[in-house]
Amino acid sequence: MGFRFRKSIKLGPFRLNLSKNGVGVSAGVKGARVGVGPRGVRTTLSAPGTGMSYVSEQKFSQATAVTRNKKSFSWPWFIFWIIVFFPIAIIYWFIREH
């Protein structure tokens, strides 16, 4: 069995995630989170308290493989989620703190 290391630092609605594989950043609220790390982009949606969740992962190596097949990584959708999701997370954080 190998050793694992992970440390998460909360910065408001954002988290800085440190692990032996690298550094990642994620943002979100309870039930929804988007993160970018050394392996790719991960989106998690859950229904709090139910134990049910949906996780979507887009690995960077898969994006390269898909590009070879004349398809491209969905950067417009990724940028859309950042533009929509981050402001909502920040507004939620300010409302919750005040």
pLDDT at position 64 is 52
Per-residue pLDDT averaged across 77-91, rounded?
74
pTM: 0.54
3-state secondary structure of 14: strand
Per-residue pLDDT averaged across 22-33, rounded?
88
- For residue 68, pLDDT beyond 80: no
State how far the alpha carbon of 43 is from the alpha carbons of 34, 40, 49, 54, in Å: 4, 10, 18, 8
Lowest mean pLDDT among 1-5, 49-53, 55-59, 92-96: 1-5
Sign of the Cα pseudo-torsion (52, 82, 58, 2, in order)? negative
